[in-house]
Amino acid sequence: MATYKVGGEVDALCTRCKLTLAHTILAMVGTKIARVRCNTCGGDHTYRSAPGSTDRASPSARSSSARAPSAPRAERPEKVVISFEEQLAGKDIANAPKYSPKDAYQLDQVIQHPTFGLGLVTAVRGDKVDIAFKAETKTLVHGRGGASAEKPVFSPPSARATGPADKPLSPSTTEADTAAPPATPPAED
Ligand SMILES: [Zn+2]
């Protein structure tokens, strides 16, 4: 509760007006308001804390203020739910290029995918594009036209460097090793 003082104003329930109104504080007991005067009807009466006790007291004001607080900031949904046909409406579907990972695409571009059909580019992130198809949204690669697309995109750095190749082959170890065979026999192809 805020700090009140005699002569100050406080919202209180007026017993005569039957409304929550501004009152002037007439007397206090400690930090509690003891007596108030209604600024509207001028009547003195014991202070009665304003809201809650009676539903009659300006119900409209309460309901409107109750749902007013800071609007949720996440009003914007991730994707506006409109039909796929609506999304494609006005697009140049007739000239939609066939999807190819070699080509680069732009936002809102319509493409024709051999498997998924018509799609609308909804996001471009580097070499990936999100394309909304009728069934679902797929993330595909694009802009890979520079190099041969047949090559694997990445090759593990030391895929072929197997352990035994690093060791010097000593042909004279056959007899010495018989006592202690290696725990892991060399893998044969
Ligand atoms: Zn009053």
- Phi, psi dihedral angles at 160 (to 5 degrees): -95, -5
Who contacts 187 (Cβ-Cβ below 8 Å, separation ≥6)?
162, 164
Condensed to tens digits (0 to 9), the pLDDT of residues 28-38 reads 998 899 999 99
Return the exposure string of 153-172: e unless at least 16 CB atoms fall within 10 Å of the residue's CB, then b: eeeeeeeeeeeeeeeeeeee
| pLDDT band at residue 144 under the 50/70/90 scheme | confident
> pTM higher than 0.85 for the full model?
no
Token pair belonging to 104? 């680069």
- Phi, psi dihedral angles at 139 (to 5 degrees): -105, 120
CA 37–ligand 1 middle distance (angstroms):
8
CA 49–ligand 1 middle distance (angstroms):
14
CA 1–ligand 1 middle distance (angstroms):
22
Condensed to tens digits (0 to 9), the pLDDT of residues 12-56 reads 999 889 999 999 999 999 889 999 999 999 999 999 876 654 444
- Residue 60: pLDDT over 50: no
Which of 12-26, 37-51, 94-108, 168-182 has the least mean pLDDT? 168-182
CA 5–ligand 1 middle distance (angstroms):
20
Which amino acid, one-letter code, is at 149?
A: A
How many whole angstroms separate alpha carbon 51 and alpha carbon 58? 9
CA 30–ligand 1 middle distance (angstroms):
24
CA 60–ligand 1 middle distance (angstroms):
19
CA 42–ligand 1 middle distance (angstroms):
6
CA 31–ligand 1 middle distance (angstroms):
23
Per-residue pLDDT, averaged over 102-128, amounts to 92
DSSP string, 26-91: EEEETTEEEEEEETTT--EEE--B-SSS-S-S-HHHHHHHHS-SS--STTS-SS----HHHHHTTS
CA 35–ligand 1 middle distance (angstroms):
13
DSSP string, 129-185: EEEEESS-EEEEE----SS-TTS-S---TTSS--HHHHSPP-GGGHHHHTSS--SSP
